[in-house]
Each structure stands twice: as C-alpha cells, then as structure tokens.
A and B are shown apart, each in its own frame.
Chain A
Amino acid sequence: MTTHPIAPAAPPDRRARARRWLASWRHRDTRAAYLFILPWLVGFALLTAGPMIASLVLSFTDYDGIGPTHNVGLDNYRQLFDDPSVATSLLNTLVFTALRVPLSMALALALAMLLLRVGRASGFFRTVFYLPVMTPSVAVGILFLLLFNGNAGVVNKALGLIGVTGPSWTTDSSWVKPGLVLTTLWAVGATVVIYLAALKTVPRELYEASELDGAGRWASFVHVTVPQISGALFFTLIVNTIASLQTFTEAYTAFYGTGNTQTYSSDAALFYVVYLFQQAFQFMHMGYASALSWLLFLVILVITVLQARLSKRFVHYEYEGDPR
C-alpha cells in the first residue's frame, strides 16, 4: 500500500517517500494490479497512443497506403485552407450541430417533463421514446429518404393537410440539413432518459417554496427546474455537440452511394467526417486525411472548452466547494 510522491516536502521526508514509492513497486499488490489493468495498457499503447503519434507524423506526409512516402512539410495543413470542400463540409457540420443540439435538448426536456407526471404509464411512454435510439443509423438514413421524400413523403403529405407546401427535403440543398436534423431528433430518447432521472432528484420543497413566493409556472421552471438540472443539461450539451460534429452514418447512407456517387443534391450533405472518410478510404489520401482529423480534433476541443467556460457561469452545483 502506498501513496504517491506528491508535493515535495522536507528533504529527508522526500527521500523516505521516494524510497517507499520505489519499494511499493515490488509489492505483490502492485504486480497484481498491473496484471488486472494490463489489457487496457496494451490497448492504449497499440490502438490509441501509437496510432495518434503515427497520425501526427503522417499528417506531414503524402502517405497513400501503398506507394513511397514523402515528407511534405506543412502542405497538408496549407491545403486545408485552399480546399473548398473543407470549408463547405465544416460549415455544413457546424450548421447541422447548431440546429440539432438546441432543438434536441429542448424537445428532450419537454418530453421528460411530460413523462414526469404521468405516473404508472410512464414506463410505456419511456419505451416508445427510447425505441428509435435502438434503430440502426443506416435504417434512420433510409427512413429519412422515404418519409421526407419531396413528392410522396408522408411529411409533406401531412404538411399539405394544413395547407403548407413542403419543400423538397432530400433534393433542395437548403432543406437537406433541416430535414436531417428533424430525422435525427427522432432518436432523442437517450437524452430524455437522462433528463427524467435529473428531474426526479429536484426536491419538491423548492417548488413549494417558489410557489409560496408567488412564482408562476414559467418562473419556477426558469428559477428552480433549470438550475437544478443544469448539471445534466451541461452534460448533454457537451456530449450531443461532440456527437453531432462527428455525424456520418445518416448522411452517408442517404446521400453517398457506391463509388462515391453522390445520389442527389449539391454538397449540402457533405459533412466533415463524410469528407474525411472519402479522402482516407476512397482516395487513399491518408496523409491529408490525418491532417483533416487533427483539424476536427482542434475544432471539437475549442468548442468543448468554450462550452465548459460558459457553463461555469450557469451550471448550478448544490454544494459549492464540496471536495467530493
């Protein structure tokens, strides 16, 4: 049993600690522990750390999977700026994310609040809302093509009933992303379940107090519910954003066929990961694809850090300074 050499204390103590630390490596517990975590250590070296270093190195080369590899310096990174598809796909992805994340959070919260008060039937409804999460994304992509078909799709038929002429969701480039957003909202169930769990922990006394203070429904929603579940809201914001930025399957299924034949539309459905996939596995531009993936990594990192910064101002934790 051991502790780490933490902050350097008085010199003799430090030496004693170092000795203890060294000795602890010979402890049989230590050997047992490392045996238990060995699978992860091996996997981390072989499938995470190693590949990441390789990817960084490759991003400075013209590696194509077969032929000889040359060092091309910063060319790949320079090309990121010259290649119009990078800007297009990045913009598509950001627009999609900016539409999808707030909408899915709002819808999930609305559904969770409806579910909260139904009592016994809530199990049934929870199942209903969760089923689409289980549906393979390929099937979701296909459902998008069918239900959102501009001429015959049921969505436009329904819109026609209320006198609205629906757009050509699957062919009109300005409607492809909204259509895909609506389709992916179908799989909002996982977020609903998280919110439901969070809502159940809000102490009822707070609502009673706010009611005594004369707060209306909206006021107690804004001042009690939202702050109380802000941890869950923040969590889903981050996770949904990261997932949306990596959208691939639905868009690829619906719009990219064999041999990269784009089935419809312009580049409206060219999402960043779709483009990365094409560069890497269709054109075998592995070096360039590596640079592309590092750019996405950077984008995700920046957005996540910004969101975390922002959340510091809004997320409410019950016991501030609790060292838990």
Chain B
Amino acid sequence: MTTTTPVPTTPPPPPPPAHHRAPRGRGPGRRGHAPGRRQAGPIGRALRALALVGASAIFLYPFFWLVSASLKPSESVFDNSLLPGDWRFDNYAEIWDAVPLATWIVNSVTVTLAAAVAVTISSALVAFGFAYFRFPGRNALFGLVIATMMLPAVVLMVPQYLVWNSLHLASSQVPLWAPNLFGSAFYIFLLRQFFLGLPRELFDAARIDGAGWWLMFRRIAVPLCRPALVVTFVFEVQAAWTDLVRPLIYLRDPDLFTVPRGLKTVLDQFGEGGEMRWEIVCAASVVVTVPMIVVFLVCQRQFTSGIATTGRKG
C-alpha cells in the first residue's frame, strides 16, 4: 500500500450514471451548468461570487499566515498580521543551523522518488498482466487485489513492522519505499482501467507483426497510458512526501529522518513544552509544505482529472 495516512482503500465510485446518454442534438456545453435556465438575478450572482471569494480567502489564509509567521520575530508570531513588521529571514538560517534540514530534505527526496518510481513501474506491470491476458485464476486473483484495497492500512501496521524487524531492516529507510516494489492495489486498479480502454486491435496488429508481450507493454501500453502513469507517480509522490506514520515507526536515527518526521522533532523541540519559538516551527513547516505546492501547481491538471476519474481521497 501507499502509506497509512491517506487511506483511499475503496474502489472508485460507480461510473457516473447517464454519462453515456448523449444529449441528443445539443452541444456538450449544454450540460453541467446545473439548474441552468433559472439564471440567478444580479443579487444572487453577487452573493455566489462573494461566497466563493470568501471561502477562497479562508482556504488560502493559513498559507499566508504560516509564511508570514515564519518571518516574524518570536514575540509577534501571534499578532496575526499578514505582513511582518520586522522581517526576520534569519529564522530560516537558524532552523538550518539547529537541525540537519539539508539531510532531511535529501532523505525525503530519495525516499519519495524511490517510492514513486517503484510503485509506478510495478503497478503498471501487474495492471498490464490483469488487463491483457486471460489466464486461469485471473478473476480470483483480481478479486484479491480489490479486497486488499478494502483492508484498513492500520491492520497491517504492526505485522509489517515485524516482517521488517525479522529482516533487520526495521530501523532503516527501506520499509518506507520497498513495499512499493510489489505494486499497490489502488494503482493496479487505476492503471488496469486505462489499459482496458486501449483498442485491442493495436495489440493484435503488433502480435501479427511478431511482437512479444514485453514489446507490447513497453512500446504500446506504456506510451499510450502515460497520463495515467503520471497520475500514479504524482499521487505517490504526495503520499510518500507527506507520510509521518511510517517514519515514526521505522526511523530512529535523526540522520535518516524525512522532512515530516524532522518537523515533528522541531515541533517537540521548539514548540509547546519546548522553547516556545513558534516562528522556527513555522519556518520548518514552510519548508515541508512548499515542495508539495510546487508539485501540485506543475501537475495540477493530471491531479484533478485523476481524482475525478479515480475518486482517490487525499
């Protein structure tokens, strides 16, 4: 499975009903504008715009608050003004010196990339196996894949620890990415759907030309399903980067910490019960959050369409 925190272990929603019922003789633009003809009056429209802008402000506010607090002197963190009166870029230098932030970032990047690459390749292979071939035991095994999607991640938390412990890998970074080598039920399901959507004739033609299975996978299936593979990769990047549970279980040595695990240490050290230097905690929080924001802004189209079609809950 991906991680323990995002727990999207259920198959996607039933295909939206009425999808295949084309709006006869009408442009596609006719649908989707909901109670359409009943156009709201100017007041209604203004209210709606106001609600939307207000909601957006509330959703964006914490980001601005966090960034600005990370640049304030300690005593004015809670003054709740969005512009620091006194800009303290030193806070970032201080957190950089106080904890091995660079090491954590390198660790996180390594673990995240390993996890995402591993899960994308292995899930694609398995999905292709289930999508393309008919073989004895296929339906039963695919049923098992679905069943593991239903399994709450928590149930496996302890026993998987014991597995890694018996391999003497329980205090290393290996458990953070190695499970992904075996594919993940959710992505297998997602990619299989995409592979099933490819025209069968493509493969038949390639087969007549003498192509083997591997060639078909590599040269036909993978290139044509690149968008789905990108979705898989990016989902897993997010899951692996933000995970705290597994780093808490497996990482003891601060030099092996990932950024979220390190952030927890920073909180314990500088936050409540510690030095009460919240601006330092905020600076570290910005460091852990910014990469995900960048990834999202770069890949947002894949992200939102991926969510809409697969129903993953983040």
A residues bordering B, Cβ < 8 Å?
1-4, 21, 24-25, 27, 29-30, 32-37, 39-44, 46-48, 50-52, 54-55, 58, 65, 111, 113-118, 125-139, 142-143, 145-147, 149, 152-154, 157, 186-187, 189-191, 193-194, 196-205, 207-208, 211, 217, 220, 225, 228, 231-232, 234-236, 238-240, 242-243, 245-246, 248-249, 252-253, 257-258, 261, 263-264, 273, 276-277, 280-281, 286, 289-290, 293-294, 296-297, 300, 304, 316-319
Contact = CB atoms under 8 A, between A and B. Distances in A.
Contacts of A277: 157, 245, 248-249
A240 B34 contact: no
Q: Which of B69, B154, B244, B300 has the most chain A CB within a 10 Å cutoff? A: B154
Given A129-B59, A196-B308, A40 B65 contact: no
Interface residues of B, number: 119
Nearest to A5: B136
Interface of B is mostly: helix
B7 A243 contact: yes
Interface in B262-314: 263-265, 267-268, 271-273, 278, 281-282, 285, 288-289, 292-293, 295-297, 300, 303-304, 307-309, 311-314
Interface of B: 4-10, 12-14, 16-19, 21, 23, 30-38, 48-49, 51-52, 55-56, 59-63, 65-66, 69, 77-78, 80, 122, 125-126, 128-130, 132-136, 138-139, 141, 144-145, 148, 150-163, 165, 179, 181-183, 188, 213, 217, 238, 241-242, 244-245, 248-249, 259-260, 263-265, 267-268, 271-273, 278, 281-282, 285, 288-289, 292-293, 295-297, 300, 303-304, 307-309, 311-314
B140 to A, nearest CB: 8
A45 B13 CA distance: 28
28 contacts: A1-B134, A46-B182, A55-B156, A58-B158, A114-B51, A114-B55, A118-B49, A131-B60, A134-B295, A136-B259, A136-B288, A137-B244, A138-B288, A143-B66, A143-B285, A145-B271, A190-B307, A193-B304, A196-B308, A201-B16, A201-B17, A231-B16, A248-B5, A252-B248, A257-B272, A277-B249, A293-B157, A316-B17
Given A48-B156, A138-B288, A154-B80, A257 B19 contact: no
B240 to A, nearest CB: 11
B128 A36 contact: yes
A126 to B, nearest CB: 6
A98 B175 CA distance: 33
B16 A130 contact: no
A47 B156 contact: yes
A207 B35 contact: yes
A136 B296 CA distance: 13
A258 B265 CA distance: 8
A130 B4 contact: no
Contacts of B138: 33
A194 to B, nearest CB: 5
Contacts of B139: 4
Contacts of B271: 142, 145
A36 B125 contact: yes
Contacts of A113: 34
A197 B17 contact: no
B7 A293 contact: no
Nearest to B242: A136
B181 A203 contact: no
Given A4-B136, A40-B145, A43-B183, A117 B296 contact: no
A157 B80 contact: yes
Given A39-B126, A194-B13, A300-B152, A114 B48 contact: yes
Contacts of A142: 263, 267, 271, 281-282, 285
A52 B130 contact: no
A42 B182 contact: yes
A143 B56 CA distance: 17
B6 A243 contact: yes
B52 A118 contact: yes
Nearest to B301: A123
A318 B18 contact: yes
A55 B163 CA distance: 11
A293 B154 contact: yes
A188 B63 CA distance: 16
Contacts of B32: 116, 199-202, 204
Contacts of B264: 138, 253
